[in-house]
Amino acid sequence: MDLPNNSSSLKPVTLLAIESSCDETAAAVIRSSNSNEKTFDLLSNVIATQSVHQKYGGVVPELASRAHQQYIVPVVKEALQVANVTKSMLNAIAFTQGPGLLGSLLVGSSFAKSLAFALDIPLVGVHHMKAHILAHFIEPPYPKFPFLCLTVSGGHTQIVIVRDYLEMEVIGQTLDDAAGEAFDKAAKLLGLPYPGGPLIDQMAQLGNAAAFAFPETNIPGLDYSFSGIKTAFMNFLKNNEQKNPDFAKDHLPDICASIQHTLVNMLVGKLEQAIDQTNITEVAIAGGVSANSGLRKVLQTNASNYGWNLYIPKLAYCTDNAAMIAAAGFFQYIMGKRATLAVSPQPRMPFRES
């Protein structure tokens, strides 16, 4: 990446980042490592997870924005305190501009805009999914450009060619449900609390992945579709529960292991196709579902069999966090990419133009 000449970017940067796209209120502070490098140190990373949604089996947008209102000041205060940074030491503020829930995004963006206005410092609007990818630059080892990133979260499933910090191209994506959504919906049908993805993962470790078979949807090209497997899973449970009403309870680990195996197979299949097609063997995964132990294991085995360099983020940087918003904000800031104070959140923020 070429740094712009005569940019303020060459001065050390202390940046506050705010994430509020869904149901985590998060703030982080980073400082550039030294004036010439494109690296930074993470000084704090604070997350308040909203537990209010659990009893509803999914995120309730209205409750999410109220909880963000409640948490945002204490979370930012704590992030500054842990970083040992005062407001006057900040050079820039980054925030999640989208995609996400409008009411949730509004809280973070209004807060970030007000603080940037009060401190008279630059504001940077960040694309949440690009930030998931740039989480790979929070700590070494850093992937080398160009790399492929399978980005799998509760709302998105994408295969992205990452050519540089801010130069990315989506080459495959889901046409309907996201992978995380498929995990969460399967969990809900099994009576597990929200978010069910991590619970399926836990139960799967005790079960037999070959116990039950589900039809994998394989559409042409690098795109995914997860809506068919959701319906197949629903019918599978319904049919078996007609014979044994306790079927799900009696076979929980085997069902979890089998559905996880199928979802992971689908994810890995298209990623391998993308590797073959592009000849790029620097491979990364990002987003909440990249925390899945089954997915990690299969990719680790394949990486050593096929000679890929595989990058898997720390668990704390897979699910939503503000350190990744800080990473994306940092690269945008040093490239001179700023938002104006008239910026507004974009719930469906496009990947390409951002």
Q: Report the residue number, 59 or 116, with the smaller CB distance to ligand KG4.
A: 59
- Give 174's DSSP letter: B
Cα distance between residue 217 and residue 215, in whole Å: 6
Q: Which of ligand KG4, Zn ion, none does residue 292 bind to, with CB < 5 to 8 Å depending on kind?
A: ligand KG4
Letters for 209-248 (x = contact with ligand KG4 by CB under 6 A, - = none) are ----------------------------------------
Cα distance between residue 145 and residue 303, in whole Å: 17
Q: Which span (79-87, 148-156, 192-200, 328-336) binds Zn ion, by CB under 5 A?
A: 148-156
99 part of the interface to ligand KG4, by CB under 6 A: no
The minimum distance between CB 35 and Zn ion, in angstroms, equals 31
Q: Report the residue number, 22 or 325, with the smaller CB distance to ligand KG4.
A: 22
Q: Report the residue number, 22 or 334, with the smaller CB distance to ligand KG4.
A: 22
CA distances 119 to 93, 106, 152, 253, Å, are 10, 20, 36, 53
The minimum distance between CB 78 and ligand KG4, in angstroms, equals 20
Q: Report the residue number, 17 or 334, with the smaller CB distance to ligand KG4.
A: 17
Residues 51-80 that bind ligand KG4 (CB under 6 A): none
Cα distance between residue 25 and residue 75, in whole Å: 7
Find the residue with minimal CB distance to ligand KG4: 288
Are 12 and 35 spatial neighbours (Cβ–Cβ below 8 Å)?
A: yes
Are 166 and 38 spatial neighbours (Cβ–Cβ below 8 Å)?
A: no
Cα distance between residue 44 and residue 81, in whole Å: 9
Q: Report the residue number, 177 or 254, with the smaller CB distance to ligand KG4.
A: 177
Q: Report the residue number, 44 or 319, with the smaller CB distance to ligand KG4.
A: 319
- The size of the interface with ligand KG4 (CB under 6 A), counted in residues, is 18
Q: Which of Zn ion, ligand KG4, none does residue 183 bind to, with CB < 5 to 8 Å depending on kind?
A: ligand KG4
SS3 content of the chain, % helix, strand, coil (to 5): 45, 20, 35
Cα distance between residue 268 and residue 303, in whole Å: 11
Q: How far, rounded to the nearest angstrom, does the alpha carbon of residue 96 sit from its chain's CA centroid? A: 12
Q: Report the residue number, 172 or 198, with the smaller CB distance to ligand KG4.
A: 198
Among 197, 313, 329, 345, binds ligand KG4 (CB under 6 A): 197
The sign of the torsion formed by the CA atoms of 36, 37, 41, 42 equals positive
Letters for 280-319 (x = contact with ligand KG4 by CB under 6 A, - = none) are -------xxx-xx--------------------------x
Q: Which of ligand KG4, Zn ion, none does residue 122 bind to, with CB < 5 to 8 Å depending on kind?
A: none
Residues 139-168 that bind ligand KG4 (CB under 6 A): 153-155
Decide: helix, strand or coil at residue 77: helix
With a CB cutoff of 8 Å and minimum separation 6, the contacts of 66 are none
Among 180, 207, 313, 345, binds ligand KG4 (CB under 6 A): 180
Q: What is the DSSP code string of 278-345?
A: H---EEEEESGGGG-HHHHHHHHHHHHHHT-EEE---HHHHSS-SHHHHHHHHHHHHTT--B-TT---
Are 92 and 329 spatial neighbours (Cβ–Cβ below 8 Å)?
A: yes
320 part of the interface to Zn ion, by CB under 5 A: yes
Is residue 267 exposed (0-12), middle (13-18) or buried (19+ Cβ within 10 Å)?
buried
Q: Which span (86-94, 196-204, 305-313, 317-325) binds Zn ion, by CB under 5 A?
A: 317-325
153 part of the interface to Zn ion, by CB under 5 A: yes
Q: Report the residue number, 153 or 174, with the smaller CB distance to Zn ion.
A: 153
CA distances 237 to 80, 164, 254, Å, are 49, 45, 13
- Residues near ligand KG4, by CB under 6 A: 22, 153-155, 180, 183-184, 195, 197-198, 201, 287-289, 291-292, 319-320
- Residues in contact with Zn ion by the rule CB under 5 A: 153, 320
